[in-house]
Amino acid sequence: MSLAELPAEMSLTLTSEHEMIRQTARDFAQNEIAQIAAEHDESGEFPFETVKKMGALGLMGIEVPEEYGGAGLDTLSYVLALEEVSKVDASHGTIMSVNNSLFCNGIYLFGTEAQKKKYLFNVASGKKIGAYSLTEPMSGSDSGTMKSRAVREGDSYIIDGRKSWVTSAPVADYILLFTMTTPEKKHKGVTAFLIDTDQPGFNQGKKEPKLGIRASATSEIVFDNYRCSAENRLGQEGDGFKIAMTVLDAGRIGIASQALGIAEAAYEASIKYMGEREAFGQKIGQFQGLQFKIADMKTRIEASRLLIYNAALAKMRGKQTGARYTLEASMAKLFASETAMFCAHEAVQIHGGMGYSKELPVERYFRDAKITEIYEGTSEIQRMVIARQELGLR
């Protein structure tokens, strides 16, 4: 269904609840995150204090029902809030997005009541931090080929192996882990587990020295004879790949919103600079060459926004009908992340030397934008998913 075909109750009118969460996220980001963003980007230190406060505001489990510690709001609320936070700082956006759409959403959809009580409540309310671990050193896009193993032993599983590029791993209390229980079955042999990071056999691996989103912590994790109770298995043996993909569909809407926030920040900085900076006796905003950049940036930003709202509404409909929203999520992620990179690139160019300097946040937007084209499925994977959906090859 396209946007034009949506029934009235699913139209793009934002309710007062949507406006409220957007305003809450905007105020918090501008009043509390803006002043620390550059410093944390420079030091690479995780912003514990602001993340705790985001939890108290309900931003760490927006779609989780209140009985499980969340804010009990809808997907549109989630994308609006994530856009506002990411517009000020994409690192906070990353932390918020993984906690919300990968960890909380996974447990809410697939967890038992006991798992929800133990793991969801504290993470959705922001008291604890959750992470999601699918990637391995030798399996990124081809996620069904992982080498880590979980072997059943009585009422436990023994987990061994190395996972990589785990957002928030260095600070996470719990991790939603995907590993192989039956390697010969390939993706049908993947199983999901809930990992307590304070248990023996769980080890932090090398921390990634990243180009951007530097205040969000990313590392390898290493399992060495980690004993995981069968009670901590999420879903059945072999369900893991589908759980990973279902959760990534939601995650991709989040990354699209993060990308939109970065694109808007780059755009607004450009508008401001073009109204201030003078060259050849006039404001640089008078030059048609730069005006065309603004036109292209604005058009792509608004198109991204519509694709994101479209995906959010598809997810909300899917909650009622059970229908997948894979296509909508991938289109939103693909377009919004390429828009973020496009806008950040143009913003640096518009700012000239100042765009290349750490004196202004534009160079941070440029570094932060790049990851949105890579994590939670590269642009190439999104194109593959979209084409397979359209060609009926799923």
Site for ligand CAA, rule CB under 6 A: 98, 132, 134-135, 141, 143-144, 165-167, 187, 241-242, 245-246, 248-249, 324, 326, 375-377, 381, 384-385, 394
CB of 121 closer than 8 Å to CB of 68: yes
Tokens of 391: 């060609």
Q: What's the min distance (Å) between Cβ of 249 and ligand CAA?
A: 5
CB of 75 to ligand CAA, least distance (A): 16
Q: Is 376 a catalytic residue?
A: yes
Q: Catalytic pick from 231, 376, 380, 390?
A: 376
* Residues 6 or more apart in contact with residue 315 via CB below 8 angstroms: 75, 249, 250, 253, 325, 328, 329
Q: In angstroms, what is the minimal distance from the CB of 98 to ligand CAA?
A: 5
Which residue's CB is nearer to ligand CAA, number 95 or number 301?
Answer: 95
Nearer to ligand CAA, 361 or 377 (CB): 377
In the bound state with ligand CAA, the residue whose beta carbon lies nearer, of 219 and 270, is 219
**Pick 267 or 375: Cβ nearer ligand CAA:** 375
Structure tokens at 335: 């377009």
Instruction: Compare residues 145 and 229 and give the one whose CB is closer to ligand CAA.
Output: 145
For the CB of residue 14, give the shortest distance to ligand CAA in the complex, in Å: 27
Q: What's the closest the beta carbon of residue 133 comes to ligand CAA, in angstroms? A: 7
Nearer to ligand CAA, 242 or 277 (CB): 242
Least separation, in Å, of the C-beta of 158 and ligand CAA?
A: 24
Distance CA 191, CA 211 (A): 32
Residues annotated catalytic, as ranges: 376
